[in-house]
Structure 1
Amino acid sequence: MTTDRRPLAVLTSRVRVEERLLLAELRKRDIEFEQVDTRAVTFSLDGAASLPYRGALSREISHTRNAYASRLLEHAGVPVVNSSRVINLCGDKLLTALALREGGLPTPRALVGLVPDSVLDALDGFGYPAVVKPLTGSWGRMGARLRDHEMAEAVFEHRAALPGPQHQITYVQEYVDKPDRDIKAYVLGGEVVGAIYKISETNWRTNTALGGRTEVCPLTDDLVKLLTATAEVIGEGVLGVDVIEDRDGRMYVNEVNHTPEFHGAIEVLGTDLVGAYVDYVVGLLDERDAA
């Protein structure tokens, strides 16, 4: 165990159940930490060495603030979990999909246009139903299941009117016919620590934020192999991996979350996911100090 008593920076803005649980675990272990609100902190590029932190645990909910805060801390020599590289990769669904495909992992078929209109005609050959997603975001927000050309035309018209160039990038996946459930798995440093089913009989989006319920998902050899390979592609860190099964049991990696929620998982898994999270972060910093 390290003798470094410098505090751990915990990056937050909105404090959810997950952040409260992690902070409580740090207090229980007498681990020195400072909760850093990313909306209030500033960084001096010239005074980088003055930052008093041993490391940082990022639980910032804003992708943009998360990416920049983690990179600024790294510039100052402060290691961050997760790293800015992992945050930038996982925070963009298209970049994640490209990395997974380049790693040879199964992902849903996809179609991308740099403006919404360019995708509309191509979708007729791609096939309906399909799902359009924002490049960044969580909880299934701003995603839509497109049933036909007419519906796609209406949705793309609204997307074209959204401000910001990133909204114009139109990322469409095939709709995978699934058994009313998705898999959410938790991988810490390449080790699979648990998985749950997110289930909804009434909504094609199974997110717990939208009313989905959770059950334990068995860790089969095939699932563990897929999750381990996903972590190898994405990189070292705390990852929430979303997997979709089709009706024949084929599995596809859908998304990878770099700041995963887990309150629904700890209610059913029966494992100390919060403790494992803190063990991983502290162990990573100990290894760095010992190197």
Structure 2
Amino acid sequence: MKIGVITINDFDFHPNARLREAALAKGHELSLMNPYRTTCTLGVKGPGVKDWPGLFDLDLVLSRQGALIGDYCLALVDQITGQGIPVVNSRESMRLTRNQFLTLQALCAQKIPVPESFFITTETGFMDAVNLLGGFPVVAKKANSWGGRGVALVENSPMAQVVVDSFLEERKGLLVQRFIPPKGRDDLRVFVLNQKVIGVMRLTPPPGDFRANFHVGGHAAGFDLPKHLEVLALEASACMGLEICGVDIIMNQDKEPYVIEVNHSPGFRGLEQATGLDIASMIIDYLADRYGERPR
């Protein structure tokens, strides 16, 4: 089986390296393509893609662009599927999950618990949200934040002014959310593959930080997921229409769970280190079993 990966990173990037290692071990080929080095074409022969050598020899394309996936890359996914080549995950699921508010909006509509949130476009809206949340502190997030980046804890009015000035873009909006203190809190990353939970880790914020993300120094450890949280993670994955995803669940000190993010291109370095699981091989096995070689 020949697998193409949409990514702006090379094989020095952990997920790409591990996926290639797992693919080769199982007799498959895996190649990378930067989407922004391709050209989408339209004409009498229909939609096409140029500047991607070997595209039509691929059996499957796996998108690994994450929250910063651009409009061009989403258009490219449509061009590829238009050629009869499957893409994992789907364009629509990636469109939703690249935006934190659209993700929470879809989850909330399905009665899946999410943190109390406001999506604002003005400084006045920011302060209104703070008041409705009961005052400072609050959490501010860019809609395309990822890995703990683009996220700030806002503890007072002067800090709010700084965050508004640096984070707020009127046309993109800004999330303002209730702050759940780290004390007594559980931060969980649940890796879902084909509507099955294949790995879970509990993350602990580094000293002096409220963010538990692995990318900002959070400590990862394996975690036995209770059944009700497994159901919650699978509901979130299904709501987003994702075949592969990471579902981030936070529980407050009263152990009330909230889904705070669904990632369509989750990293798994921390999960593999914390659990000893071979996540890369599980992904490759799923792709081979689910799709196999594409009819030519």
Q: 62, 72, 85: which is aligned to 1:57?
A: 62
Counterpart mapping for 1:9-24 below 5 A:
9-15=4-10, 16-24=13-21
2:73 and 2:290 mapped to 1: Cα distance? 20
Equivalent position of 2:124 in the other structure: 117
Does residue 146 (structure 1) correspond to residue 154 (structure 2)? The answer is yes
1:135 and 1:287 mapped to 2: Cα distance? 37
1:71 and 1:175 mapped to 2: Cα distance? 38
CA contact (8 A) 2:186 2:252 kept: no
Counterpart mapping for 1:169-208 below 5 A:
169-178=173-182, 179=184, 181-202=186-207, 203-208=209-214
Equivalent position of 1:157 in the other structure: 165
How far residue 39 of structure 1 moved from its aligned partner, in angstroms, is 2.7
Which of 65-74 and 185-194 deviates more? 65-74
1:287–1:231 CA distance, 2 compared to 1 (3 A):
farther
Equivalent position of 1:135 in the other structure: 143
- Per-residue Cα deviation, 1:24-67 (whole angstroms, up to 9, x for no partner): 11122221333222232222233547851322011135411543
How far residue 77 of structure 1 moved from its aligned partner, in angstroms, is 2.5
Counterpart code for 1:113: I
- Runs of 4+ aligned structure 1 residues displaced above 3 Å come to 46-51, 286-289
Unaligned runs of 5+ in 1: none
How far residue 10 of structure 1 moved from its aligned partner, in angstroms, is 1.5
How far residue 79 of structure 1 moved from its aligned partner, in angstroms, is 1.3
Equivalent position of 2:31 in the other structure: 34
1:287 and 1:225 mapped to 2: Cα distance? 32
Q: 253, 262, 268: which is aligned to 2:268?
A: 262
Which of 211-220 and 253-262 deviates more? 211-220
- Does the residue aligned with 1:283 lie in a helix, a strand or coil? helix
- When normalised by structure 2's length, the TM-score is 0.87
Identity level (%) = 25
1:181–1:34 CA distance, 2 compared to 1 (3 A):
same
Q: 66, 83, 87: which is aligned to 1:80?
A: 87
Equivalent position of 2:229 in the other structure: 223
How far residue 286 of structure 1 moved from its aligned partner, in angstroms, is 3.5
CA contact (8 A) 1:129 1:146 kept: yes
Unaligned runs of 5+ in 2: 50-54
Counterpart code for 2:102: L
- When normalised by structure 1's length, the TM-score is 0.88
Q: What is the aligned-residue RMSD (CA, Å)?
A: 2.2
Counterpart mapping for 1:206-217 below 5 A:
206-217=212-223
- Per-residue Cα deviation, 1:191-243 (whole angstroms, up to 9, x for no partner): 11111011125110111111111001112111111111112211131010111
1:171 and 1:287 mapped to 2: Cα distance? 43
1:116 and 1:159 mapped to 2: Cα distance? 11
- Does the residue aligned with 1:197 lie in a helix, a strand or coil? strand
How far residue 134 of structure 1 moved from its aligned partner, in angstroms, is 0.6
Counterpart code for 2:26: R
Equivalent position of 1:101 in the other structure: 108
1:205 and 1:35 mapped to 2: Cα distance? 31
CA contact (8 A) 2:129 2:176 kept: no
Counterpart code for 1:74: T
1:84 and 1:35 mapped to 2: Cα distance? 19
1:186 and 1:219 mapped to 2: Cα distance? 11
- Paired residue total: 280
